[in-house]
Structure 1
Amino acid sequence: MARGLNKLSALAVKNAPAGKYADGGGLWLHKRDDGGAQWVLRITIHGRRREMGLGSVSVVSLKEAREAADRYRALVRDNIDPIKDRERQKREAARNLHFLSDIALDAFESRKAELKGDGKAGRWFSPLELHIMPKLGKMPVAELDQKDIRDVLAPIWHDKAETARKALNRLSICLKHAAALGLEVDLQATEKARALLGKQRHKAQNIPAMPWLEVPAFYSGLSDGSVTHLALRLLILTGVRSRPLRHIREEQIDGDIWTIPADDMKGRKDATSDFRVPLSPEAMSVIEQARNHARDGYLFPSIRKGVISDMTMAMFMSRAGLEARPHGFRSSLRDWIAEATETPHDIAETVLGHVVGGSVERAYRRTDFIEQRRNLMVRWSQHVTGQNGQVVKMVKG
């Protein structure tokens, strides 16, 4: 034992009253009046005397305090400030933790260009933000395993099956992103978690749709000229999705053609051009009435600000005692095309804005069937307004 070192004993540390006690070599025990105690190492570096805390006695034993003191005294002999060196190590450790929340945000940033509107709506990130990050966000991604994932998704695995599926898929993307950054992660963790969670009981259900034969009666009831009634009428007549319908602007309409920006067309991620919608005379009449409500360029504004919400139209149908929902009118139109016309498949799918054919086929196709669709939508409007229901034969080309 070196002279002047290791003066204290474990019993002395435990029973000593309040005060300061030297163990030797600059290591001191500081005991407070409240019973608490901590280790302090006194050092002189670059001609300056400093005190370095080594931790509480309740956490750091006498042996551990002496070992730490030996390490730091060795640094001082090498003319290295142990306090600054410890702080540097802490900063480096923090940089290398790579919390899951940081990885997720970085993965989101790298994928924004692939998402509609650069992901500003938040749909890509929200499953992670709501169901993963609250419990796992501050966990180093390298420590994440299938049991952690299983435990956080188990509460919603069956009750919110689609949301849970999206959260799991997004998490898998985050792990691949971490691996691409050079971090050691378990790329199979999400699949292992899926196995632990088991098969989901939830079965995906189609959005309730109104039978096409019942659409005329519903349409005739939308007669008060309100924003909600007019929006539902144009939704039915055009077969578009709710978002582009609710965000329709005056400058998008040129004659009897409504041009929807490519960014608003769900399911057309590879589209490089906008989508044209032919407007029947009945649809043009609805638009003319909607212009009386226009605000800030939008034809269907909400009462306060922005545009009418999808929930507004859905609640209107719900209060009317209907199971069908606004999005279901796309199915009504598609069923009418299939059952009451002889429209070729490509034209029928294009009516709904669906991508048709493979990438090579689409590259050589130079038509969006606008004239065929114009004739078809006129016949649909005639059915919707109760004028006639004769079978129509559409010719492709």
Structure 2
Amino acid sequence: MVQTITEPGKYFDGHGLYLRVDKTGGRFWVQRIVINGKRCELGLGSLDFVTLAEARHAAFENRKLARAGGDPLSDRREAKAVMTFEEAAREVHRIHLPTWKNPKHGDQFINTLATYAFPTMGPIRAPDVSTADVLAVLQPIWLTKAETARRVKQRIGTVMKWCIAKGWRKDNPVDAVDKGLPKQTGRKEHRKSLPYDAVADCLHTVAGTNAGLSTKLCFELLVLTCVRSNEAREARWAEVDLKAKVWEIPAERMKMARPHRIPLSKRAVAVLEQAKGLDDDLVFPGSKKGKPLSDATLLKLIRENGYDVDIHGFRTSFRTWAQERTNFPREVPEAALAHQSGDETERAYARSDLFEKRRKIMEAWAGYLAERRDNVVRIG
């Protein structure tokens, strides 16, 4: 019986397999094998954990692979190199971090996985993650934290796609997880917006506050140009041509990674003229030198003055005004919002950014706000 062997030495079996007994009493399975013309030895584990039958099977498979031109050593090294889900997720996060326009998005990616996925899935080897593992993460939050759950699902899927690209697995366990989840019945809430006829009142209120000049001017330009919060807050003087009345945001600062030219109304130019001298680089500097205003600063500005809406909602206000109060074709306000209209074929032929038509609608929007603001009468 193999288990009774205690005398130090080497005890040979077939396929180059032998049991090595050390002077210290350790007993280990070893296989002598030729791999790509080179003789070497492979350790197959301790006798305490690997039976003779298991050692023989492993030795046979190694010999079979080597005779076919394979490399059992390389396969073992690759197996050891396979990451756990947490290790893979952190690597995906590291790789993608430079591509996120806002560092906050990168933080959210890894933090949501750390909160909801790592406690159960983290230690599992990436190739071994199953649909059941993903389901166990999502089920507890699928209905109570619907939006968060959807994002966690999408981020797990991103990690799994990377693992497929690495050759560690052939499937994405996220693809089948919907079959085990109930339908989310809650409606997705749209960002809160003001009725367009209340925007001028909001601008008037903000102008009369004790907020910093940079903050107030940034907010007004955002409303006048219908840009997103980060596009306004991170504006650079190098992007602005006051003489031509044009603000050109480069692709890397736009959500859809396309450059966006904005025709500046007379009032928008006046706002920018007021901002001159605040900083040599940033149009709207924050309290820390060289840093732009934070998104929270603009949100706080309007919320503390009685407007329970979102900054992004002012784009909705403009879009509704254009729809209800103007005769501009639909594609003009859509282009002003940096949205693309029509299907892929239509866009392939219609390559104009409707700049001159957008100049007219932005001037009309500014004129509407000025007219309303001049007629504002605050009660109380």
- Same-fold call, TM cutoff 0.5: yes
Cross-structure match for 2:67: none
Cα displacement (A) at 1:320: 2.0
Q: 1:228 aligns with which of 182, 207, 215?
A: 215
Cα distance in structure 2, aligned partners of 1:248 and 1:276: 13
2:177 is the alignment partner of 1:193: yes
Q: Counterpart of 2:190 in structure 1: which amino acid?
A: N
Structure 2 matches for 1:116-135, cutoff 5 A? 117=101, 122=106, 125-126=109-110, 127-128=112-113, 131-133=116-118, 135=120
Q: Counterpart of 2:287 in structure 1: which amino acid?
A: I
Cα displacement (A) at 1:315: 1.7
Look up the SS of the partner of 1:380 in the other structure.
helix
Cross-structure match for 1:139: 124
RMSD of the alignment, in Å?
4.2
Cross-structure match for 2:293: 308
2:248 is the alignment partner of 1:259: yes
2:265 is the alignment partner of 1:280: yes
Asked if the contact 1:112/1:118 (under 8 Å) is kept, the reply is no
> Per the alignment, do residues 377 and 55 of structure 1 end up closer, same or farther by CA in structure 2, a change over 3 Å counting?
same
Task: Tell me the number of residue pairs that the alignment of Structure 1 and Structure 2 aligns.
Answer: 337
Cα distance in structure 1, aligned partners of 2:162 and 2:56: 42
2:179 is the alignment partner of 1:157: no
2:207 is the alignment partner of 1:207: no
Cα distance in structure 2, aligned partners of 1:211 and 1:70: 78
2:327 is the alignment partner of 1:321: no
Cross-structure match for 2:233: 246
Cα displacement (A) at 1:292: 3.4
Cross-structure match for 2:329: 344
For residues 24-73 of structure 1, what are the alpha-carbon distances to aligned partners after superposition, in whole Å with 9 as ceiling and x for unaligned? 9774797xxxxxxx845699x9xxxxxx99769xxx38xx688899999x
2:367 is the alignment partner of 1:382: yes
Cα displacement (A) at 1:310: 1.0
Look up the SS of the partner of 2:371 in the other structure.
coil
The structure number with the bigger radius of gyration is 1
Cross-structure match for 1:78: none
For residues 121-152 of structure 1, what are the alpha-carbon distances to aligned partners after superposition, in whole Å with 9 as ceiling and x for unaligned? 52794454654345424422221111110112
TM-score by length of 1: 0.70
> Per the alignment, do residues 108 and 259 of structure 1 end up closer, same or farther by CA in structure 2, a change over 3 Å counting?
same
> Per the alignment, do residues 129 and 355 of structure 1 end up closer, same or farther by CA in structure 2, a change over 3 Å counting?
farther
What are structure 2's unaligned runs of at least 5 residues?
12-19, 33-42, 59-71, 375-380
Look up the SS of the partner of 1:277 in the other structure.
strand
Structure 2 matches for 1:87-126, cutoff 5 A? 91-95=77-81, 97-101=82-86, 103-104=88-89, 117=101, 122=106, 125-126=109-110
Cα displacement (A) at 1:360: 2.9
> Per the alignment, do residues 55 and 283 of structure 1 end up closer, same or farther by CA in structure 2, a change over 3 Å counting?
same
Look up the SS of the partner of 2:247 in the other structure.
strand
Cross-structure match for 2:276: 291
Cα displacement (A) at 1:91: 3.8
TM-score by length of 2: 0.73
> Per the alignment, do residues 252 and 92 of structure 1 end up closer, same or farther by CA in structure 2, a change over 3 Å counting?
closer
Q: Give the fraction of aligned pairs with identical amino acids, expressed as a percent.
A: 28
- Shifted more, 102-111 versus 160-169: the winner is 102-111
Cα distance in structure 2, aligned partners of 1:109 and 1:299: 31
Look up the SS of the partner of 2:345 in the other structure.
helix
Q: Counterpart of 2:236 in structure 1: which amino acid?
A: R
Structure 2 matches for 1:3-82, cutoff 5 A? 27=21, 39=26, 60=48
